[in-house]
Structure formats: structure tokens, C-alpha cells
Chain A
Amino acid sequence: MAQPKEIFVKSERCLGCMSCMIACSVEHSPGKTLFSAIAEPVVPKSRVYVEWAPPAKKIPLVCRQCEDAPCMFACISGAISRNDDGTVVTDADKCIGCWTCVMVCPYGVIGRDIDAGKAYRCDRCPDRDIPACVHACPTGALLYETVPDYSKSMRQKASEELARAEGE
């Protein structure tokens, strides 16, 4: 089986521009364009959250699709399951808005639509090749790669730095 791609976060590259949040909201709006999204009667909601932490860190937070997904096990209505591609998804029809998933998610990345009484979360944009947030990120703080590709790029970068240091 092909290695699935994951969303990686390089927080040191994040400028806090929140382009990812806008792109995510738009992608998950019925019209899927910025102009239609703005006029939506229900304000489109982002599934990625850019947070600020002292002293001056900006951190994009997105569902980690945990291997051990606590939300899936905790769900009391059978609404959360794992797709064949490894994505953990919430079935809005089955969700009863009990917020047990919110209570157990250690990353705080499950959203609550209080009016609808439904939880929502990152679905890795099933209609796109690259998730909207990653596509929108201007600095490469969000990457969409397989684990081997990502670790290879990290190794390469480390060895280049090592070589540079030894050359001096």
C-alpha cells in the first residue's frame, strides 16, 4: 500500500498570516469561493487554527489524525471512523453534539458547531490533491508529504548544515 501523505507543521516558518484558515473555511463552504463564502448565511468555519504562544511564536494547529485516535474510541454515537487512507472522519449525520471528542482531543482541534449541534474537524480535503491549508501557505510552514519523504528532506537539510559547518 502506498504510504499516505500527512500534513506536517514547521512552526518556525509560520508568520501567523492565517491564509490557511481562510483557505480552509472557503474550501469547507458550500460555494467554495472566497466571495461566496463571505456571503454565506452560516459563517464558514476553519478546521485549522493559528495560535499565538509567548514570546512570539505562531503555531498552526491541525488534526494529527492520531494513530491511536482518542476521539474515535471516545465517541458515544459511532460517528467517528478511520477511512482507508488513514484519515479520521466525523459523520455529521451520526454526530449528536455530545462533545466527548472535544473532551478527549489532546490537541484541541475539534470544532463545535453549536447551532447545528455537530462537531467538525479536518478532513484533509478529500476533493483536492493537496489540502487547501497547505496549498495556501505562502511560507512552507505547512507541508503535505509522506513520512519517508519528510524525514528524507529533514536528513538532507541536517547533513547539508553539517557539511557547511565542517567546511568552515
Chain B
Amino acid sequence: MPGRKVNDVDQRTAKYVIIGGSAAGMTAAHTIRARDPGSSITVLSDEPDMPYYRPLIPYVVSGKKSVREMALHGCGPYTGTDIRVETDSRVTSVDTEAKTVFVENGGSVRYGKVLFATGSRPFIPPDIEGIETPGVFALRKLLDAREMHKRAAQTSHAVLLGGGLLNLKAAFALLERGLEVTLVVYSPEVLSQLMEPRDAAPVREALDDAGLKIRTGAAAVAVESDSDGVAGVLLDDGSEIACRMVCIGKGVRPNVEFLETSGIVLDSGIVADACTACSRPDTFTAGDVAVTHDPISEDRVMTALWTNAVEMGRCAGLNMAGVQTAYAGTFGILNATQIARLPFVSMGVVHTSGLDCEVHRHRSRGSYRKMVFSPDGARLVGMVLIGDIRNAGLYRHVIRERMEVSHIKRQIIDHSLHGGHFFR
């Protein structure tokens, strides 16, 4: 390592070092603790806050939850003890020969085994002029949520760039604060990553009814500013929207730069083998930063989903504690949520135009569904449920296990499948 000696006086040691203090990292830490009660576990987090439930940060923007209510420790599976969490500790590089990680503010930690769970960060489009202006946010960390909460008090109109789930949640948090909110979406419809435009129609109607202003097929070219920061957004059609706040939700990018000199194999994210291990001895990865596989499409995928990060973090924790466990992979798309009082679930293969899949759609009052079967009709490969999302977990099971479905196909198409159909 240039400029650094591994025998620095301030070097510390832990049997398990976990880089990243969110879903994947903390789940791994608690999983290891359950299997290996006496060992030292050190989590290095680059955030100033102790681990928290990241998906709750829109509630900080709306003011509906306090930071204290979001703490990870003691909730759900996070009940292990004696896990050392060091905040404000950003790892800058890793020496896999000397088994040492280097922390930005000096110091290093020697590891027995290390987990890379550094997650992802918002993608900021480089082609929007003036994007560095105060009042422009990308909601990712508790820190961002606090700042957004503050800024929202000084403004009556916010413009959100991007029509994904995160921005929709941010939009509703701001609507609850009484702001006017305009969503600028480049795609022909909102939620384009999770469903096709025609399938998103019921969601769109609910968003319109809830008072969200949506401009599809439009992109921002510049953020205008004055002495108070953001003053407006200029769109590619030449129109301007006056606003005092901008939020960018255009997807995320994995935090891998700290491994560029490490010799660990990267492919956009960190490449994981079947058992979550990386290409060097005693190195593992999990969460948003990890490249894993989709069991249905067999594609390599990176997802940015809490639930997936937990599942993979748990698997990595088991492997690190010596219990060899294969990671089952995840669907590229796997989302459940409720916005504008409308619940919906989207999973597996849902973008079907141009594909040869067998598709069944059904719309009734208040609900919509799309069931996607393989071209031969023998397997369920994806689905969208809007409104009536009952038993969504059963479909996930059917898809993930690649079940031959001829005996329950009618029930799947009718959305009448229930647990009793699996009893012998």
C-alpha cells in the first residue's frame, strides 16, 4: 500500500471486520455473533449515525418518525451483543495480502475475515447544469433526510427528478408537509423499472388523485439558483418550474472505489461466488455492492433493496462463521410497497414487451394483476399485483422454486392461490 505501513502503531485487529453498517453488514454481524459468541466483530461505517433502518428515512423528511425510532439495535434479528460499530470510519483501501483495511481518518484494522458491504450511493446525472446548488438533494442517508426536512420548511414547491420508488416515497413525505410536488420523469410512465407503462396505469391514477404533479417524457437540463440556493429547474422542452428544492432519484451506483487497488475482481460491483466469497482469501461481499445472480433469468444482477441485502448479509455471515451456505440469488425485481393508499408488489420478469412470455392481465375495480408465465406456459416467472396483494409470498415461492404449475395455473391466473394448494 503506497504511503501506508501495515505495522502502524494505531493498527487494531478483529477476527471479523465488516465494512458498511447497514442492512447487509449488520445482518452479517449479528449472524456471525449467533454462531461465534466469543469472537471480535468490528463494523466500520462511513455514516455519523449508528445503524438504522434506512427505508424509514422518508419518515424523517415528513417528520412522522424520530431518528430514535429508527435504530436497528434491539429490533428484529438485530439482538446480538458485543458488536463494535465505529461510525465516521470510511475505508479507503484494502490490502488483501496483509489482511488489513485502511480507514480515512488514519488507522487501520487487521482482519481474519472481511465483508465488503459498502452499499451504493445515488447516481447524480453529470449533464444537469448547476446540480451542486444548495437545496438539491439525493435521499440516501439519514443525514440527507435531516437536511431535506429542514429545507422543506423554507419552500412551498419541490421538484423531484426521477419516477422510481424512492422518489415517490420522498414525494409523499413532502406532500404530507404541505408542499406542492412535481415529479419529472424521463420515461413514459412512473415506476418504469418495476412495471411497464400500461401496468403502471392504476398506480399513476392513484398518484394523480393524491395531488402529485407528474411530467413524463421530460428531463431537467439545469438547476437555476439565487442567493438562497435552488430557485428553479429548466426542462429540456424549454419550460421552467420555479421551486426551492430538488430531489434526485435516478438510481444508485455501487461503492467499490476503495477496492480498485486490492486485486479483488470487480464487475461494476464486487463479484461474489455462489457462497458470497470474493476473489481473494477470506473476503466476502453482500448487499447493494455485490454482483449476484437472478435464479430465473440467470443474469448477473445488482439490486438495491433492503430485503435482499439482509438475505445476502445473512448468508455471508454464515459463510464467514464457517457454515458453508450457498446464496440462492435474487430476482432483479422484488418490491412491495404502498403509495397513495395503493399497495402493490412487483417481482421477477415483469417487462414483457418483446418477450415471448404467456401473459395474463386482469383489471377490476381497485385492483390489477399481471401474471407472467414462461413461453411454454409451464412456469410462473413474474407478476405484478396492484391493490389486492394477498398471498404475494406464495407466488414468490412458486417463481423462485421454478415450480411446474399446471396443477395450480388456473388459481394463479385467477389470483386465488392459497397455502392450502401446497398441502399434500
Q: How far is the CB of B367 from chain A (nearest CB, A)?
A: 11
Taken together as a complex, chains A and B put the C-alpha atoms of A144 and B389 apart, in Å, by 30
Assess whether B217 is interfacial by the CB under 8 Å rule.
no
Contacts of A70 in B (CB 8 A): 393
Assess whether A31 is interfacial by the CB under 8 Å rule.
no
Assess whether B53 is interfacial by the CB under 8 Å rule.
yes
Q: Which residues of B, 58-109, contact A by the 8 Å Cβ criterion?
A: 59, 69-72, 75-79
Contacts of A130 in B (CB 8 A): none
Taken together as a complex, chains A and B put the C-alpha atoms of A109 and B70 apart, in Å, by 26
Cβ contact within 8 Å between A11 and B423: yes
Interface size on A, residues (CB 8 A): 38
Interface stretch of the complex, out of B135-143, B155-163, B198-206, B335-343: B335-343
Cβ contact within 8 Å between A73 and B53: no
Contacts of B418 in A (CB 8 A): 49, 51, 53, 61, 108
Taken together as a complex, chains A and B put the C-alpha atoms of A11 and B396 apart, in Å, by 24
Assess whether B365 is interfacial by the CB under 8 Å rule.
no
Which residue in B76, B393, B397 is a CB contact (below 8 Å) of A102?
A: B393
Assess whether A30 is interfacial by the CB under 8 Å rule.
no
Contacts of B71 in A (CB 8 A): 78
Assess whether B15 is interfacial by the CB under 8 Å rule.
no
Q: Which residues of B, 334-360, contact A by the 8 Å Cβ criterion?
A: 334-338, 341, 343, 345, 347
Cβ contact within 8 Å between B307 and A104: yes
Q: Which residues of A, 18-68, contact B by the 8 Å Cβ criterion?
A: 49, 51-53, 57-59, 61
Cβ contact within 8 Å between A114 and B76: no
Least CB separation from B71: chain A residue: A78
Which residue in A59, A73, A105 is a CB contact (below 8 Å) of B77?
A: A73
Assess whether B421 is interfacial by the CB under 8 Å rule.
yes
Which residue in A11, A80, A107 is a CB contact (below 8 Å) of B76?
A: A80
Assess whether B219 is interfacial by the CB under 8 Å rule.
no
Taken together as a complex, chains A and B put the C-alpha atoms of A102 and B99 apart, in Å, by 41
Q: Which residues of B, 19-72, contact A by the 8 Å Cβ criterion?
A: 27, 53, 55-56, 59, 69-72
Which residue in A57, A94, A102 is a CB contact (below 8 Å) of B69?
A: A94
Assess whether A100 is interfacial by the CB under 8 Å rule.
yes
Cβ contact within 8 Å between A103 and B338: no
Contacts of A114 in B (CB 8 A): 341, 343
A112-136 CB contact bits vs B (8 Å, 1 = yes)? 1010010000000000000000000
Assess whether B311 is interfacial by the CB under 8 Å rule.
yes
Q: How far is the CB of B64 from chain A (nearest CB, A)?
A: 9
Assess whether A140 is interfacial by the CB under 8 Å rule.
no
Cβ contact within 8 Å between B59 and A96: yes
Which residue in B53, B338, B396, B421 is a CB contact (below 8 Å) of A104?
A: B396
Which residue in B307, B390, B391, B419 is a CB contact (below 8 Å) of A76?
A: B307
Contacts of A106 in B (CB 8 A): 393-394, 396-397, 419
Cβ contact within 8 Å between A77 and B55: yes
Cβ contact within 8 Å between B76 and A103: no
Taken together as a complex, chains A and B put the C-alpha atoms of A77 and B392 apart, in Å, by 19
B114-152 CB contact bits vs A (8 Å, 1 = yes)? 000000000000000000000000000000000000000
Question: Can you give 12 contacting A-B residue pairs, CB < 8 Å?
Answer: A59-B423, A61-B419, A73-B307, A73-B314, A77-B53, A81-B79, A97-B338, A98-B338, A100-B337, A102-B392, A103-B336, A104-B307
Q: B: which residues have CB within 8 A of A?
A: 27, 53, 55-56, 59, 69-72, 75-79, 306-307, 310-311, 314, 334-338, 341, 343, 345, 347, 389-394, 396-397, 418-421, 423
Sample of 9 more A-B contacts, CB < 8 Å, known A57-B423, A100-B337: A59-B419, A74-B307, A75-B76, A77-B55, A78-B70, A79-B76, A102-B390, A103-B392, A107-B394
